[in-house]
A = this chain, B = another copy of it.
Amino acid sequence: MSDLLERLRGRGWRMTAQRRVVAEVLDGEHVHLTADEVHARAVAKLPEISRATVYNTLGELVSLGEVLEVATDRRAKRYDPNAHRPHQHLVCARCGAIRDVHPTGNPLSDLPDSERFGFAVSDVEVTYRGICPSCAAA
């Protein structure tokens, strides 16, 4: 992700302080932040950055394939910079904590042709749910 700015420039995008800051916030940490969390962290670095720009930039990073949108609940979407290695998510049903998980097997092969109804199936999303250790202890 550190060369993201290069790739953006290569696509003819203007490099702005706002885009740099959003990329910085997502860089490194393997977290799943909401747009407003990204905004809060961006504001710490660039106080005048607007919510709209954060949304715009996140949307751009998603279409670029640099960031994934994760919607595990009805709350705010989460933005996942771990777009490199395919993975699924394990979510705490109580506190909402999210972990990346790497299941074995390919769920796509578990869907027989007779269950595809003529769809061209291209993707599958798996969300595991349970209670995290810290909620179980409490």
Contacts and interface: CB of A to CB of B under 8 A. Distances in A.
Interface of chain A, main secondary structure = mixed
A127 interface: yes
A118 B103 contact: no
10 contacts: A71-B71, A74-B77, A90-B111, A90-B119, A102-B115, A104-B111, A117-B132, A117-B133, A124-B126, A125-B126
What 9 A-B pairs come out closest when comparing CB atoms?
A121-B130, A118-B133, A103-B110, A119-B130, A105-B110, A123-B129, A101-B115, A125-B127, A120-B131
Interface of A: 71, 73-74, 77, 90, 92-93, 99, 101-105, 107-108, 110-112, 115-133, 136
